[in-house]
Structure 1
Amino acid sequence: MSPDQILLFIGAALLLAVAPGPDNLGVLTLGVSRGRSEALGFALGCAVGCFNHTLLAVLGVSALIAASPLAFRALQLAGAAYLVWIGVQALRSRGAQLANLDTPSAAAGFLPYFRRGLIANAINPKVALFFLSFLPQFIRADGWPAPLQLAVLGALFAVVAAMVFGGIALAAAPLGGWLRRRERLTRWLDRATGGLFVGLGILTAVGIR
């Protein structure tokens, strides 16, 4: 894998992790309402859950490549269209609203919320579909075997998510108050993420990667 390929992917993963979404907003609101330990557990659980989707992507893409390179290209084009659709929705978004996503529970501490984040992320079919669409866009035909590239990219995404979500968990209380006073910022993050999705989808569709 080339350095520019990895750096491009890390940049995209970083922007996606920072952009307001169910996982990082869940970490933020847990940090405000429950505490850093619970928020950090949920954050790392969500990050570890990414490995489940990486495995599914590796198995699915590997099967397609073995069956037909044409089928793999069709998957890339379908994924490109899906990313463009996500991008358009993000561009039209009015910005994420911070809400209390937690529910009352007697369980507290790191481990219960780690399990909660892990399960919530690992069984989410929308996340699985996203990984299956997103990761193949960064595969190089002249690089390592595609399954190995997918595994490395998925692991990098999980590490980036763990770092970003963990940072949000540790700074939850002041960050939550700061974001509530700057709702426009979440809209601009949505715009940036939407532009990334649309641009990546178009470049893939026309064969420029």
Structure 2
Amino acid sequence: MNVRIEVIYRTPKGTEAIFNSEEMCAKQALLLAEDLERTGRMKSITFIDSHENTWSLKELARQMEEIQTEPHNITIYFDGGFDLKTRKAGLGCVVYYEQNGKSFRLRKNALVDELESNNEAEYASLHLAVLELENLDVHHLPVTFSGDSNVVINQLNEEWPSYEESLSRWADRIENKLTRLGIDAEFNLISRKNNQEADRLASQALKEIEILSTSEVSGGAG
């Protein structure tokens, strides 16, 4: 969770000024706020998140305590594959997250047969990942989505137009779901080499090997 700080500062003679910080992680913002409080010259402090919600110091501290018990620091990898001969698509996603001071990895794939292209499979794999976020009860948090599809990443980042109605429908479905969950999404384009885990899951789905597992890992996404 990222926030910016708005502080009303008052000198001993009563002169006041308002200061605004750049956006930073909430944990860092709380440390700075606690340090400012010790000066005794801070009239008020407000934290503002990326959705323009405002938090007091106590509210943000309580929110951060609650977040520790829920999935957070989330990074997702997704990939889709399409077999022209069978007209089937394999979807794969990997969700890395932290909870209760531990790091976890969720792997999920699916085989579907109602798609028409590899680009649709890529979008469907991202949608599969978003559904897993919903299953984990993730909401109102930043999430990084990484994939090797130029089409999906550039269209969702609004750098490329979408001329295909089927792809536009997928994009709308994903964006609507992210909005309902309050997810602050970041879409990153990565190389196929760095997306091997999700690619493997998609390939296994095409071979009708179903994967659904959650395991503790020693570190986050690599």
Q: What TM-score do the two structures reach when normalised by structure 1? A: 0.30
Which one has a larger percent strand, Structure 1 or Structure 2?
A: 2
Q: What TM-score do the two structures reach when normalised by structure 2? A: 0.29
Which one has a larger percent helix, Structure 1 or Structure 2?
A: 1
